[in-house]
Amino acid sequence: MVKAPKKTKPSSSPSVGKVPKKGGAIVAQESGSRNAPIINIGIERQDRAAIAEGLSRVLADTYTLYLTTHNFHWNVTGPHFNSLHAMFMTQYTELWGSTDVLAERIRALGHYAPGSYAEFSKIATVPDVPQNPPKAMEMVRILVKGHETVSRIAREFIPVAEEAGDDPTADMLTARCTVHDQTAWMLRSLLED
């Protein structure tokens, strides 16, 4: 049986083309040139812009969390050094890989992916890594909050992608939420008595 194509909602829908913003700054600049054909992937231009902006925020938070996790991998000390050092490496490796997937989806939607510390600092919700390395269990607490934050931000944009008929982005964000929720749970388990 052939599946009927998904109908996209008209542009007059109040949430289509709109994305929750941090600071109101547009962060996903449209790419392209006069020589390239206009993007025609079945997602309206304003919806692609809104989705790219949401993905840019998720990318900024993911990169910030990656950097924090990698920093903690380098600087963890104490009786749990071996297990935390290895765990943090597994986590930062996964985060690093996901930044490429997020950035490439932004590019597929016809926008430039943010990629500088200046851009990330303007749009990230996850706080920057502490200047002085905290104790091991405080590192774990910080990472729990970071993973929960990225999961919340990603969830904000799933309905935006769904309403625009962008199933690949909705699926990708759902998968990201699964990873962040599970990682937060595993880290939180270390803090329980």
Which domains does the chain carry?
45-191 (1.20.1260.10)
Each residue's pLDDT tens digit, 90-137: 999 999 999 999 999 999 999 999 999 999 999 999 999 999 999 999
Are the CB atoms for 53 and 21 separated by under 8 Å? Answer: yes
Q: C-alpha distances in angstroms, 153 versus 22, 66, 67, 125, 136?
A: 11, 16, 18, 8, 26
How confident is residue 41, by pLDDT bands cut at 50, 70 and 90?
confident
Of 10-24, 29-43, 103-117, 178-192, least confident by mean pLDDT is 10-24
For the chain, the average pLDDT equals: 87
pLDDT the model gives residue 89: 98
pLDDT the model gives residue 10: 43
Each residue's pLDDT tens digit, 129-186: 999 999 999 999 999 999 999 999 999 999 999 999 999 999 999 999 999 999 999 9
Can you point out the beta strands (E) in the chain? none
How confident is residue 193, by pLDDT bands cut at 50, 70 and 90?
confident
pLDDT the model gives residue 4: 47
Confidence (pTM) = 0.83
**What SS3 state is found at 30?**
strand
